Amino acid sequence: MAQYTKLETLSTMKETGIVPVFYHGDVEIAKKVVKACYDGGIRAFEFANRGDFAQEVFGELVKFAAKELPGMIMGIGSVVDPGTASMYIQLGANFVVGPLFNPAIAPVCNRRCIPYCPGCGSVTEVGMAQEAGCDVCKVFPGDVLGPKFIKGLKAPMPWSQLMVTGGVKPEKENLEGWFKAGVTCVGMGSNLFPKDAIAVGDWARISKLCADALAIVKEVR
């Protein structure tokens, strides 16, 4: 069951502006990464459903965050069907993110008052997702669509709350481009989690990357 309300989750995503996206099959490494992000100021974290037994890792992360990281809101990503969404909601997911928009997932999340952030690649998909009750739509892949897509979409649909994922970097020029175009927040993956840092357990580096990125977002908004 979700620990945070829908309003709390959406507000946190908007206020911080960054939702890290991460997957690792080792529970202990995943815990270290989540804590490193927390120490860097992150308060909404998306664990990706990308490997065998990912649900077991996620279940442990939710328990860990609830006990050790007060205020950290844990969500699940890479969800493409309602069955998977239901499973992760039972494990404590506070929000559900997908690479695509599956209308069958929306009522599952709505019934439990949990945000569903579907992946949308067109104005029509965003409109359909909003009609289904999706408050924040994920624009994906961001590196293909670009900031101009965000700006163009928001001209006729200024109420849209968009989270772009793909091609987002913890750099001022990149983040400024997205936020000036009108995104509500960004999802950031590999650029926050250098493989060499994880390999040697340099968690302080990940914390600094998060803190620096959050500072940039605050500056460019």
The CATH number for 187's domain is 3.20.20.70
**Helix axis angle, 142-154 to 172-181, nearest 10°:** 40
The CB density around residue 149, as the number of other CB atoms within 10 Å, is 18
Measured distance CA(77)–CA(164) in Å, rounded: 13
**175: domain range?**
6-216
For residue 1, being part of any structural domain is answered with no
Q: What is the pLDDT of residue 123?
A: 98
For residue 221, being part of any structural domain is answered with no
Q: What is the pLDDT of residue 1?
A: 86
Q: What is the pLDDT of residue 47?
A: 98
SS3 161: strand
Q: What is the pLDDT of residue 170?
A: 96
For residue 120, being part of any structural domain is answered with yes
Measured distance CA(66)–CA(110) in Å, rounded: 23
**What average pLDDT values come out for the chain (221 residues) when binned by 10 residues?**
96 98 98 98 98 97 98 98 98 98 98 98 98 98 97 98 96 97 97 96 98 98 94
Q: 63, 57, 68, 56: which is closest to 22 by C-alpha?
A: 57
Measured distance CA(136)–CA(118) in Å, rounded: 8
- Structural domains in the chain (count): 1
For residue 112, being part of any structural domain is answered with yes
pTM score of the predicted model: 0.97
In Å, what is the CA distance from 58 to each residue of 31, 50, 146?
A: 10, 11, 31
For residue 132, being part of any structural domain is answered with yes
For residue 110, being part of any structural domain is answered with yes
For residue 189, being part of any structural domain is answered with yes
